[in-house]
Amino acid sequence: MMISTDIRQLPQVENQFSTFVELLQYRAEKQPEKIAFTFLENGEREAGSFTYHSLDQQAKAIAYQLQLTQKTGDGVPPTVGDRALLLYPPGLEFIAAFFGCLFAGVVAVPAYPPRRNQNLSRLLAIVADAQATVILTTKSLLPQLQEWFSQSAELAAIQLSATDDVDSNLAANWQPPQLSKDTLAFLQYTSGSTGTPKGVMVSHGNLLQNSECIKEAFELTPESISVTWLPSFHDMGLIDGILQPLYTGFLGVLIPPTSFVQQPIRWLKAISRYRATHCGGPNFGYDLCMRKITSEQLQQLDLSSWTSAYSGAEPVSQETLEKFTAIFQACGFRSSAFYPCYGLAEATLMVSGGFLQDKPVYCAVETEALENNSVVISQGEQQKVKQLVSCGHAWLDTQIAIAHPETLIQCQPDEIGEIWVSGATVAGGYWQRLQETQQTFHAYLADTGAGPFLRTGDLGFVRDGELFVTGRIKDVMIIRGRNHYPQDIELTVEQSHPALRPSFGAAFTLTINGQEKLIVVQEVERNWLRKLDGEAVIIAIRKAVTQQHELQVYATFLIKTNTITKTSSGKIQRRLCRDKLLRGELDVLASDNNNVEIF
């Protein structure tokens, strides 16, 4: 089944600008003193702002510095398309550096700066894959990065440069590069398996089209205001939190992600303070607000200006939407403000969403049928029912098809299949990965020949024009809005203690109280069975996973040697392992479950 926008389809993007460089220059000329971005240090105190003019000047100065410092020996500036790795703490410096790359024709590669004692393997993999020629950061982070990178020959060989002390007067020396809508703007690296992250190639044209989709879907105007706590190195934080305010011309307020996680009230107070209209994040963010904001703090909030509270990046929970509304409606929050949506980095960001004035659409389906890839609407009598939340429909030229993952034939309305996407928002593929690009970005329907489509790897169905996402084909885990591959977690676990048997562990998630929780099942080496200190091993596992992945393990199960399930080719059968755990069939030696009900 295929869907696109219905009879209320909105007009195509007006090709007034071909790049974000042209767009920022236009705003700097027409609205030089209008504030574009404000950063709240600790989520509360204004630590600085950019007007369109000051951002334009700083971006041009950084661009000139990039062009100057990267000249080759014969004085020829780098060609458009060289890559720069961006390692920044939350703040305005990242925004200036990102646009500085765009103004220089250099491809930005956003990543999060490593923490002390953190494994550099992922960062090394990104640097090697992107073949970055320079690493941009801040003066405050520069000494730390120099110290850490000295431990790696690959990283030590790359030029490190701070951009927050670049003189904005250098903007006068900037020479515009040759850019077009097809020019690569940045690489968005997906989580990937250890050592093999993939860089999604996002062009200026992709960004402009997706920004128009977001603008139309959320009915954004220059009078809109957003407050975001999402990390700038992730696609949602970058494209919706930074690029969208610039695209539409409204104020973007940014707070550090850690400030939100520590005290979620800061986000909602900022929404109240700035009269924000467009704010959102993953489902867990709304859960965090409900858990940590007290009844006394509710008295400080006025959320009546909030018209689009989007929820995406991880499964959207009906329970969360309803409970959040019940708690915060006393502060002026309306249930119609909730806006469930669907997207992924390979499609730049947004793929689907509803109409702003509509309330969320729910669908109750029988769980047993769902597990068999079929859709049976519950009649209210079945005990095992799953409540699904609609992610709306496609916008502009985007099309969504539901296809059988194996036969590549379109699914019937009552069948669950893989979600395929086509349109101008679909990125150009994976950086220097021709085979994977061909497999993922160039799919054609076997029965109609329609294509090319992006194969998302997500499962879902369409009912009454609404897209419902039901799961993932692969074992990718989405926890707190971020993708995590089980192979990454499993490698960290097996290396955390000598008692653990390499390549004989499974990491997966279970939905507990409406949230995705990380579960670890791991075999113990035979020669450790009699002397096993289960508590010490589990503590080591938890510590390693927290340090390397910034995740908490909900429950760990240490099991006997040769008892985990594998395929004939030696691959871990994570889903079968999960099912055996739920059935109580694992031979458990030790666990930190502590009688917490997960079955």
DSSP string of 302-343?
--TT--EEEE-SSPPPHHHHHHHHHHHGGGT--GGGEEEEEE
| Residues in CB range of 262: below 8 A, 6 or more apart | none
- Read off the pTM: 0.81
Report how many domains make up the chain. 1
Q: Has residue 507 been placed in a domain?
A: yes
Is residue 533 a part of any domain in this protein? Answer: yes
| pLDDT score, position 121 | 75
Mean pLDDT in consecutive groups of 10 residues from the start of the chain, 599 residues: 45 68 96 97 96 98 85 49 94 98 97 76 87 94 89 86 94 95 95 66 97 96 97 93 97 96 96 98 90 92 98 86 96 96 96 95 86 82 80 96 96 93 98 96 96 94 94 75 74 92 89 88 94 94 89 94 70 83 92 62
Residue 73 confidence (pLDDT):
41
| Count of other CB atoms within 10 angstroms of residue 158 | 17
247, β-bridge pairs = none
List beta partners, residue 38. Answer: 49, 253
Segments of 393-441 assigned E as strands: 393-394, 399-403, 417-422
**Is 490 inside a domain boundary?**
yes
DSSP secondary structure code for residue 344 in this structure: -
Domain holding 527, by residue range, is 485-591
Which of 414, 409, 411, 443 is CA-nearest to residue 426? 443
Distance CA 554, CA 516 (A): 10
Q: Which two tokens stand for residue 431?
A: 């950086």
Classify residue 221: in a domain, yes or no: no
Q: Given this model, what pLDDT does residue 10 score?
A: 35
The candidate with the shortest Cα–Cα distance to 518, out of 541, 500, 494, 534, is: 541
Is residue 134 assigned to a domain?
no
Residue 500 belongs to a domain: yes
Q: What is the CATH number of the domain that holds 512?
A: 3.30.300.30
Per-residue DSSP letters for 164-214? Answer: TT--GGGGGG-------TTSEEEEEE---BTTB--EEEEEHHHHHHHHHHH
* Euclidean distance between CA atoms 183 and 82, whole angstroms: 12
- Other CB atoms within a 10 A radius of the CB of residue 224 amount to 21
| Residue 312, in any domain of the structure | no
Helix axes 283-292, 318-328, angle to 10 degrees: 40
Strand 588-591's sheet: what is its strand order?
A: 500-512, 515-524, 553-559, 588-591
CA distance 32 to 553: 49
* 540 beta partners: none
d(Cα 132, Cα 355) in Å, to the nearest integer? Answer: 41
Judge whether 521 lies within some domain: yes
Task: Give which of 295, 299, 229 is closest to 262, Cα–Cα.
Answer: 229
